Structure 1
């Protein structure tokens, strides 16, 4: 791997010792600096022009990204950005208040990052990150369970028990979290004949579509959305559309809408809901 690709793979930031360990010479570093391809913001640290700012701040502090900051760097589902940069250090020096310190003496794996998030973050924030790591194939539920087998790990096991490896988006994860807490039963990714999959079916009656991932980028997308909506009306399947802002900022409003929709739709023997496959995936 050449210098620039090696830098890019690390978020655009690297320490000199790590670059040298990967076969990069002093001549290559000097040439890249001279050409303006790299800069040297602090002693022993090099970065690309588009370097991750959190990773750069951590490197200049002699630390590595950890917990939610590392999860962000790896593209996991982060519900709310952290107010501090979470870092891992193996030295005794104190860092300023811009950092939240996690102690670790080894490079962090995705599994380590997930465990840190479950120990450090609010339950829902941790669930989003850990569930996405499972969905993206970065960790397995079995591996998480093995790491959360201690007597003091009950809160971690609670998060792990909520993981759905078939989630399609962070707002689907959030909607299931609040539905579960409110005591509703639901199925995810339910197939409706002629329509396709609905994100959720609540109490076998109400469909929910998590709209954060749906952007009508063209006429075909718009027409497909209209087709699905019309068929759902014909099949007498009511559907609520839940946006990111609704779920994250106003979950109580979301749950009120769910309750009102279910109360308003009382199937009877003459007009039961039709077309829903009870098999979920």
Structure 2
């Protein structure tokens, strides 16, 4: 593997010490810089032209991307993009970054990205409960980790809040907004079933109190074939005696209070509380 290919594999930016450990020489690095194949960002750091900003920030900050900043690289769901880069640093990190300490599992590649275990543990300790639950649900859904594994790595009183976030995860969601909606419904004391198969209707996202179907629509639900299918499902649901509410990403993430108001409006018509 030549130098530029290795740098691509390493995230397009790396410390020269990483290149030397991979078997490249100081001379080969200097030659690549001289001909313009790579750029020297500072002493000890080189990058390919157009190296991603987050990867560059990690290497320049002497750290690894972690928590919300590593979600996309670990193929985890992310509810919101972080306003600052999150880095795992052994020593003092950049002043403009959210710095995390402590690593349980080393990364499995030269990319400046923390291991999935570290990413999830840091998110559980750092992010709002809803956002951390979304990331953990994604990992659990893919079989990357288990709740028991994570719980065992969060001992003691100081990790109590992080362990409570794990109680919000059940691995049944097909999307980030399903995690958010499930948490909202259950936190309100509503009897909530997920991914329920109903005769003549099919599998619905949520069944609340046994009669209110709540469906969450992604981009595919705007396609003509899916619109026709959804219309037929709505009609079948109503004819079978169910009530139906449908919401999209923006509704769930930006207007949860409106969703809850509408859900309760329907429920209070048939549930005595």
Q: Distance in 1 between matches of 2:270 and 2:52?
A: 49
Q: Which runs of 5+ in 2 are unaligned?
A: 108-113
Change (3 A) 1:241 1:51: farther
**What's the secondary structure of 2:158's corresponding residue?**
coil
What are the Cα deviations for residues 115-170 of structure 1, in whole angstroms up to 9, with x where unaligned?
11111111111111111121122211121111123233221221111112121000
- The aligned residue for residue 184 of structure 2 is 178
Aligned residue pairs, count? 264
Give me the whole-angstrom Cα distance separating, in 1, the residues matched to 2:219 and 2:238: 22
Q: Structure 2-normalised TM-score? A: 0.85
Out of 220, 224, 229, the residue aligned to residue 225 of structure 2 is 220
Q: What do residues 79-108 of structure 1 show as CA deviations (whole Å, max 9, x unaligned)? A: 12222111111124x522x21111236543
Instruction: Give ranges in structure 1 of 5+ residues lacking alignment.
Output: 267-281
The equivalent residue for 2:67 is 67
Structure 1 residue 258: Cα displacement: 0.6
1:114 is the counterpart of 2:112: no
Q: Please name the residue that 2:101 is paired with.
A: 103
Cα-to-partner distance string for 1:240-262 (whole Å, 9 max, x where unaligned):
11222111112111101111122
Contact map agreement 1:87 1:102 (CA 8 A) in 2: yes
Distance (Å, rounded) in 1 between the aligned partners of 2:23 and 2:198: 55
Q: Supply the RMSD in Å over aligned alpha carbons.
A: 2.6
Greater CA drift, 101-110 or 131-140: 101-110
Question: Which residue among 231, 242, 245 is the counterpart of 2:247?
Answer: 242
Q: What is the aligned partner in structure 2 of residue 79 from structure 1?
A: 79
Which residue does 2:111 correspond to in 1? none
- Normalising by structure 1, what TM-score? 0.82
Aligned to 2:207, the other structure's residue is in SS state strand
